[in-house]
Chain A
Amino acid sequence: MTVNITLIVLMAAFFAAGIYLLLERSLTRVLLGLILLGNGANILILATSGPSGRSPLYTAGTPAEEYTDSLPQALILTAIVITFAVTAFMLGIIYRSWVLGRVDDVQDDPEDRRVADQDSYDYEDDADIIADTTEFSEAEDPSAAAAADRAGRTEGPR
């Protein structure tokens, strides 16, 4: 198989720039990175079709090797349409993100931060078990026990 060096160099440049942009925190740059990656992938598919030849319309007597391989072009066409749709959708949500919060950045997950910051002590799991559970003692009033429980809870280390 022969390859076209121009296409390979172009592809490498697209991939390099695309990955660089993808690592940015700004969403617009991430989108540009994705577009470049998509185009790089399309060029790679084109490169796999080998040297160019006659257009793939059947002419009697022409050997098969003289035609251009048309399958990669069909694949590229499909991939372009898909990249186009995804780009349009990404632009939509980037704009929505701008409208909602005036931000063009990748946001942190608040629940993730909360879990990361929480204390390893957990009241429910780690508190000492109270020895006497009042279940069989007649003196204790259940509502008083519940109140005491709540009071203990607020004092407990959190």
Chain B
Amino acid sequence: MIAADLAPLAVVLPFLGAAVTFILIRHARAQRAVSISTLSVTLLIEVVMLISAPSAGTHAVKLGGWEPPFGIVLVVDQFSALMLVVSSAVSLSVLIYAAGQGMADGDEDGPVSIFHPTYLILVAGVSNAFLTGDLFNLYVGFEILLTASYVLMTLGGTAPRIRAGVTYVVVSVVSSMLFLIAIAMIYGATGTINMADLAVKLESVDPATQLVLHLMLLVAFGIKAAVFPLSFWLPDSYPTAPAPVTAVFAGLLTKVGVYAMVRVETLLFPGDRINSLLMVVALLTMVVGILGALAQSDIKRLLSFTLVSHIGYMVFGLAISTRIGLGAAVYYVAHHIIVQTSLFLVTGLIERRGGTANVDRLGGLAKLSPLLGLLFFLPAMNLAGIPPFSGFLGKLGLIQAGVELGTPLAYVLVAGGVATSLLTLLVMARVWNRAFWRSPADAEDPDPILLASKADGSSVGTSRHVTGEDTGRFAGKDPVRLLPASMTGPTIGLVALGLALTVLAGPLFTLSDGAAQEMLDRTPYIEAVLGAGADR
């Protein structure tokens, strides 16, 4: 019995929690307690798994005792353990934030009581996708998390969310269909869907057929990961969802797609046959994404475009596919999950304090709430890659890998990466200048909440002081705290976790380097699943 044998709990516990919270649908307080404690326990188990992962090596858990390649296996290696811990830490913070929002607004039995069970199912689907060693089970994991995300995306059923939800559902279903078709063709070509078994058997398939299967999988995962030119659905659909939902989607869902791409590239189809294609795709994703962000004035849309743009960095590392490039990509995925989620959570706070997420209508937030300013500034600089933040370290690793490879295309990619980093800084500085630095009076058509002040001129802490005929989004509601500690708390925690990536960069880089080495040398994975000596 080793820690990795606990892997099924990472999927089963959230499912059990979802069932219990579904029964408790009329008891908001009990629901919150159950879902938060479930995710805390899950996170604890995953941390134990991560700590033991480097020494224990790759470990496969055979579900139901069926021997691979016939049964489903869950595989724990350093990459999947790291992804599990990061994703659970992020989803726990977002859950506490969402619960805090509910508490602050007094939604004891609002229409969002379905949030907790759906959210836990989403987490279970993400964990399943990270752990599984079976291609069809990966499809099922994707469907679990996607179906949960459809519900979260259209929460409340308002007109904008339905409009955005329709696009999102159709695009996701089409990508799932492509994945399913690819699975059918792979089964037709090899007669197996176990990933370790495939890694062995695909080598003997005709190279042309291999290329077709490879590209089909990459297109299916490319839609989910929002890689250019398959990324246009994302900035359209993410911003309309509630702030915590957008935050968790931005952090996790695209990264599951990236994770699947990494597995395809390293385990199923190793070699550098399409690396040039991936480099071009990475470059276009970075540059087109950030140019889109420059044109936006809504912070949520702007962040959605930076999300697309920074997916390009991960594809960059994957396309280089040397040990150092892959290791930097693994580190960058962990960094980006945390930073992008914290930025979206802060945007939720901005929207609450300023009444809108449109930068043209915001101003003076740094003076109104210095804490909010700090919470935005740190992850924003982290995303742009200012030293000594983790964004800088990740980008440095990628650039080092690109220079080491030394082909002309790699140098173009390095230049594109640096330019994207600078443009990200520009985008973040624009938000900072408008929403935080200028006077609220300069804002165009500001929300009443932004201009409200107490009788002595000091800034307000609740919506009670909003006067005038139009009180904006707080009209007709009881006074609520604008920045409740239950919402700022988890945001501070996540921003601090982003800073911890810098402090812990040494051990983390060792870990991601180990993960990269494990992936490039496929033998540990294959032997863990199929037994020693199976790969040759």
Separation of A62 and B297 alpha carbons in the complex (Å):
70
B374 close to A (CB within 8 Å)? no
Separation of A30 and B172 alpha carbons in the complex (Å):
13
Separation of A41 and B167 alpha carbons in the complex (Å):
21
Identify which of A48, A89, A101 contacts B187 (C-beta below 8 A): A48
Contact in complex: B239, A111 (CB < 8 Å):
yes
Identify which of B147, B177, B298 contacts A37 (C-beta below 8 A): B177
Identify which of B170, B188, B442 contacts A1 (C-beta below 8 A): B188
Stretch in contact with the other chain, from B154-162, B413-421, B448-456: B154-162
Residue numbers in B under 8 Å from A85 (CB-CB) = 147
Contact in complex: A34, B170 (CB < 8 Å):
yes
Contact in complex: A124, B163 (CB < 8 Å):
no
Q: Mark A96-131, 1 if CB is under 8 A from B, else 0.
A: 110011000011010110010010000011000000
A64 close to B (CB within 8 Å)? no
Number of interface residues of B (CB under 8 A): 44
- Least Cβ distance of A40 to chain B in Å? 8
Contact in complex: A93, B154 (CB < 8 Å):
yes
B473 close to A (CB within 8 Å)? no
Q: Which residue of A lies closest to B157 (CB)?
A: A96
A32 close to B (CB within 8 Å)? no
Separation of A93 and B143 alpha carbons in the complex (Å):
18
CB-contacts of B278-331 with A (<8 A): 295-298, 301
Stretch in contact with the other chain, from B16-24, B86-94, B178-186: B178-186
Residue numbers in B under 8 Å from A124 (CB-CB) = 433-434, 438
- Least Cβ distance of B410 to chain A in Å? 34
Contact in complex: A112, B147 (CB < 8 Å):
no
Contact in complex: B188, A48 (CB < 8 Å):
yes
Q: Which residue of A lies closest to B187 (CB)?
A: A48
Separation of A2 and B248 alpha carbons in the complex (Å):
46
Contact in complex: B180, A86 (CB < 8 Å):
no
Separation of A100 and B154 alpha carbons in the complex (Å):
13
Separation of A109 and B232 alpha carbons in the complex (Å):
12
Separation of A146 and B364 alpha carbons in the complex (Å):
15
Question: Given A89-B169, A93-B169 in contact, is the A44-B181 Cβ separation under 8 Å?
Answer: yes
Interface centre among A93, A94, A100 (most CB of B within 10 A): A93
Contact in complex: B165, A93 (CB < 8 Å):
yes
Contact in complex: B150, A72 (CB < 8 Å):
no
Contact in complex: A41, B430 (CB < 8 Å):
no
- Least Cβ distance of B213 to chain A in Å? 13
Residue numbers in B under 8 Å from A100 (CB-CB) = 157-159, 162
Contact in complex: A38, B177 (CB < 8 Å):
yes
Q: Mark B424-438, 1 if CB is under 8 A from A, else 0.
A: 000000100110001
Q: Which residue of B lies closest to A124 (CB)?
A: B434
Residue numbers in A under 8 Å from B159 (CB-CB) = 100-101
Contact in complex: B170, A30 (CB < 8 Å):
yes
Number of interface residues of A (CB under 8 A): 41
A10 close to B (CB within 8 Å)? no
Contact in complex: B166, A27 (CB < 8 Å):
yes
Interface centre among A30, A101, A111 (most CB of B within 10 A): A111
Identify which of B147, B184, B438 contacts A48 (C-beta below 8 A): B184
Contact in complex: A22, B174 (CB < 8 Å):
yes
Separation of A47 and B181 alpha carbons in the complex (Å):
12
CB-contacts of A11-41 with B (<8 A): 22, 27, 30, 34, 37-38, 41
- Least Cβ distance of B290 to chain A in Å? 15
Identify which of B140, B162, B180, B296 contacts A41 (C-beta below 8 A): B180
Identify which of A75, A86, A93, A109 contacts B162 (C-beta below 8 A): A93
Q: Which residue of A lies closest to B165 (CB)?
A: A93
Contact in complex: A146, B441 (CB < 8 Å):
yes
Contact in complex: A90, B163 (CB < 8 Å):
no
Contact in complex: B180, A79 (CB < 8 Å):
yes
Residue numbers in B under 8 Å from A89 (CB-CB) = 147, 150-151, 169
Contact in complex: B180, A93 (CB < 8 Å):
no
Residue numbers in A under 8 Å from B298 (CB-CB) = 111
B164 close to A (CB within 8 Å)? yes
B535 close to A (CB within 8 Å)? no
A4 close to B (CB within 8 Å)? no
Q: Which residue of B lies closest to A27 (CB)?
A: B166
Identify which of A1, A34, A47, A78 contacts B140 (C-beta below 8 A): A78
| Listed A/B pairs (9) with beta-carbon separation below 8 Å | A44-B185, A45-B183, A47-B184, A71-B193, A82-B143, A89-B169, A90-B173, A96-B157, A115-B295
Listed in ascending order, the chain A residues whose CB lies under 8 Å from chain B are: 1, 22, 27, 30, 34, 37-38, 41, 44-45, 47-48, 71-72, 75, 78-79, 82, 85-86, 89-90, 93-94, 96-97, 100-101, 106-107, 109, 111-112, 115, 118, 124-125, 146, 149-150, 153
Listed in ascending order, the chain B residues whose CB lies under 8 Å from chain A are: 136, 140, 143, 147, 150-151, 154, 157-159, 162-167, 169-170, 173-174, 176-177, 180-181, 183-185, 187-188, 193, 236, 239, 295-298, 301, 430, 433-434, 438-439, 441-442
Closest 6 CB pairs of A and B: A48-B188, A45-B184, A107-B163, A44-B184, A41-B180, A100-B159
Taking A47-B184, A90-B169 as given, write out 20 further A-B residue pairs in contact, using a Cβ cutoff of 8 Å, ordered by the A residue number.
Answer: A34-B177, A41-B184, A45-B183, A47-B188, A48-B184, A48-B187, A48-B188, A89-B150, A93-B154, A93-B169, A96-B157, A96-B162, A100-B158, A101-B159, A106-B167, A111-B239, A115-B296, A124-B434, A124-B438, A146-B441
